[in-house]
Amino acid sequence: MTAYRRLRIPGGTYFFTVRLARRGGSELVDHIGHLRSAYAVTLLERPFRTDAIVILPDHLHAVWTLPEGDDDFSNRWRLIKTRFTRAVGRRAPKGASQAAKRECGLWQRRFWEHAIRDRADLDLHRQRCWTDPVRHGLARRPQDWAFSSIHRDTREGAAPDGVRPWFSPGIPGTGQAGQSLGSPR
């Protein structure tokens, strides 16, 4: 069994990337109501603050701050994934390993997380959430993508007016649409 090393900081702030197993899928936006419901129920049961979030067709990014003394983000993601999967009724072919772990094959088994170090790191990852739809070619401006916290954050004054992508389109290595920026995709 693989031993995953996760930095656990009670009350910490984290950036997450959570993906569907099948790249290019669209279940997250096709069933956005089910995802919102799974997220809301989990939030009620196990509170946390959503500092930023964006839902793309086959993955999502989120920045969470956990309650003081709490470092259990893994079970929160497990609950969100399980509730969403059950709500959409997804059954996919699975191998013996997936069957043993009661997985259906909709989600990638794990997720990627990054512990936020300071205010600059938080601002960078919030901006990544806001601008990722532009990077993936799904919207011309961050504000054009419906499934993003940028709308809430703009209303509350947390997002600067005219948020621009955190990459420079057309400059190699800076993340134009479809290009990896070095984090697991």
pLDDT tens track for 16-26: 999 999 889 99
Residue 83 lies in a domain: yes
Closest CA to 162 of 145, 142, 180: 142
Judge whether 102 lies within some domain. yes
Q: What is the pTM assigned to this prediction? A: 0.82
**Closest C-alpha to 54, from 177, 142, 120:** 142
Answer yes or no: is 179 within a domain: no
- The answer to whether residue 174 is domain-embedded is no
Residue 47: inside a domain: yes
Number of domains in the chain: 1
The CATH code of the domain that includes 63 is 3.30.70.1290
**What residues make up the domain containing 98?**
13-155
Instruction: Identify whether 113 is part of a domain.
Output: yes
With a cut of 60, say whether residue 180 has pLDDT above it: no
Is a pLDDT exceeding 50 seen at residue 41?
A: yes
In a domain, 119, yes or no: yes
Tell me whether residue 3 is in a domain: no
Which pLDDT band, with edges at 50, 70 and 90, does 110 fall under? confident
